[in-house]
Structure 1
Amino acid sequence: MTSQLHRAAAFEALHARPGMFLMPNPWDVASAKLLAGLGFEALATTSSGFAATGARADYQVTRDMTMAHIRTLAEATSLPLSADLENGFGDRPEDCAETIRLGAEAGLVGGSIEDFTGNPAEPQYPLEAAADRVRAAVEAARSLPFRFMLTARAENFFTGIPDLADTIRRLQAYQEAGADILYAPGLRSLADIRSVISSVDRPVNVLARPKALPVSLQDLQAAGVKRISLGPLLFNTAYGALVAAGKELLQAEGFGFAGLARSGDELIAMMAKA
């Protein structure tokens, strides 16, 4: 098994090399192994996808549950693993720092801290408090014996505050707090993405949302995006296929869905490549 030190070095190198890379989001051992077997170079957890595996909504899993899930995925492949660590599982900077340390112990070489509070009355932490939380996470990451890539997220477009100027101010503050990667999920246009990238000097992650943001991977790379993550897209696609197959069966329409099926032997052979 590849050591955590080597995974960390590989993950840092992906961010340093020219061009863009894709970081898909598995939700269990099988999906992690399949994605590794297909040739992806790094993986990231999906908080909503993982929650849905237990029939829960996003933000309904505990830190202990998340850490157990991270450990399972980290042991599944030799690829670098980053994680959606939500808001650090607590409001205090100390909570964010502890979450980074626990994530590293579980096998992570990267992870994100977001500024979403979970409180509908005040969905984002005030800027100064949000930056303090990122700073504490960065300090925890820098205390580790390997390079941990810390992503800071500005949740404006996911919290009903689609203010691009405030999003950029937040990302700039998180950059100053030491974040390695910046991320504003939910940006609505290629122009928004270009504005973010031109306003910061850290690698920028973009969330793939084909229906809401119908732009090509080539367009995103040309705009200067460093990293594409998919969030729950693969999970939703897989389970969407299951729902479609079930409806086809119930409506006695046949087995058209089987055209996408792979044999068990083929899937196991692909997983073995991980």
Structure 2
Amino acid sequence: MDTDRRERAEHFAELHREGCFLLPNAWDVGSARILESAGFPAVATTSAGVAFSLGRPDHDYFAEQPSDGRIDRDTMMRRVGEIVAGVAVPVSADLEEGYGEAPEVVATTISMAVAAGAAGGNIEDFTGDRDRPLYDAALAADRIQAARSAVDAGGEPFVLVGRTDALLVDGSLDECVRRANAYLAAGADCAFVPGATDAATIGTLVRELGGPLNVVMGLSGDALPLDDLRALGVRRVTVGGSIARATYRHLLRAARELAEQGTFSYADGQLSQTDLNDLFRQTGK
């Protein structure tokens, strides 16, 4: 990691030490540069958005999406590297479940993310198997510990996030707390609990967890505003694939209008060629 990227990674780590910040999710260099131009101190990737941009589904249960239908690790890492090279702010990588069950596979994934220039990344405990939707708690903690060891061995600043999907698979809040604390104890710098969207649940997590909390907003209705999340004690807020999904909704509407009506109202309010050219000249490196 060069000096400039190291400084960015160190700044990214500092963001997690106090206060609350918004970390929006990009899926390619263009979306990352637009987020950067809005003044965000860092951007994250969204595995869902990357998959959609390649015409593929996001990682899901294998019954709905065979394991060989997902984006592979090398493809995802290339995209992470492109985004890192295309912006001047730190980038945190959505590394899904680490692209394999074994702790040593997760460790390799983390090492690859560091090599790609990422300033951080998350490892989740979702398996894709309906019969066993989450990795066994002990194994899941071992996977985080292996990721931590890989970070430490690399010697570069890197914010490791331990994510539990327990709420997304109808697990209890108590299980979320146990798993998130286990991941923090295993070396995660931050815990991530998607599915925690209301003030009561988030407040409980903030009180019960032994480290910083990341929540995701925008994936469903009635998202709490950033000021409320800050007051609750949340450290970091991401938006997952919601910006990508909103973009693709507009694309689908445009396609259907063209195909079914032969009209062009979808183009009303579009950004001009000049505006986009100017934006992309001013951002990036």
- Aligned match of 1:40: 40
Aligned to 1:150: 160
Question: Partners of 2:280 and 2:3 in 1: how far apart?
Answer: 17
Contact 2:42 2:89 in 1 (8 A): yes
Aligned to 1:4: 5
Distance in 1 separating the partners of 2:25 and 2:183: 24
Of the structure 1 ranges 187-196 and 243-252, higher mean CA displacement relative to structure 2 is found in 243-252
Any gaps of 5 or more consecutive residues in structure 2?
Answer: 60-69
- 2:276: which partner in 1? 267
Q: Give 1:181 deviation, angstroms.
A: 0.7
| Residue 117 of structure 1 pairs with residue 118 of structure 2 | no
Pairing of 1:93-172 with structure 2 (within 5 A)? 93-158=103-168, 160-172=169-181
1:80 maps onto 2:81 in alignment: no
Indicate yes or no: 2:37 matched with 1:27. Answer: no
Distance (whole Å) between structure 1 residues aligned to residue 12 and residue 114 of structure 2: 14
CA contact (8 A) 2:107 2:150 kept: yes
Aligned residues: 272
Shift of 1:258: 2.9
Partner of 2:64: none
Structure 1 length normalisation: TM-score? Answer: 0.94
Q: 1:213 to 1:97 in 2, by over 3 A?
A: farther
Matched, 1:199 2:208: yes
Over the aligned positions, Cα root-mean-square deviation in angstroms equals 1.7
Q: Identity of aligned pairs, percent?
A: 36
Rounded Cα–Cα distance in structure 1 between residues aligned with 2:13 and 2:179: 23
* Alpha-carbon distance in structure 2 between the residues aligned to 1:73 and 1:15: 21
Contact conserved, 1:134 with 1:174, CA < 8 A, in 2?
yes
What's the offset of the Cα at 1:4?
Answer: 1.7
CA distance in 2, matches of 1:221, 1:259: 36
CA shift in 2, pair 1:210/1:127, >3 Å: closer
Question: In structure 1, the residue corresponding to 2:160 is in which secondary structure?
Answer: strand
Question: In 2 relative to 1, CA 165–17 (structure 1 residues): closer, same or farther, beyond 3 Å?
Answer: closer
SS in 2 for 1:143: helix
- Between the aligned partners of 1:213 and 1:126, the Cα distance in structure 2 is 32
Shift of residue 89, structure 1, vs aligned partner: 0.8
How far apart, CA to CA, are the structure 1 residues paired with 2:129 and 2:220? Answer: 27
Distance apart, 1:66 and its partner CA: 0.9
**Paired letter, 1:57:** P
Superposed structure 1 runs of 4+ greater than 4 Å apart: none
Using the TM superposition, give the Cα deviation of residue 212 of structure 1 relative to its aligned residue in structure 2, in angstroms: 4.0
Scaled by the length of structure 2, what TM-score is found? 0.90
Cross-structure match for 2:50: 50
Residue 255 of structure 1 and its aligned partner are, at CA, apart by: 4.0
Distance 1:58 1:12 in 2: 28
Pair 142,261 (structure 1): closer, same or farther in 2 beyond 3 Å: same
Q: Which amino acid aligns with 1:81?
A: V
- Structure 1 gap ranges (5+): none
Mapped partners of 1:223, 1:211: distance in 2? 19
Q: Is the 8 A contact 2:114 2:156 kept in 1?
A: no
**TM superposition shift of 1:200:** 1.3
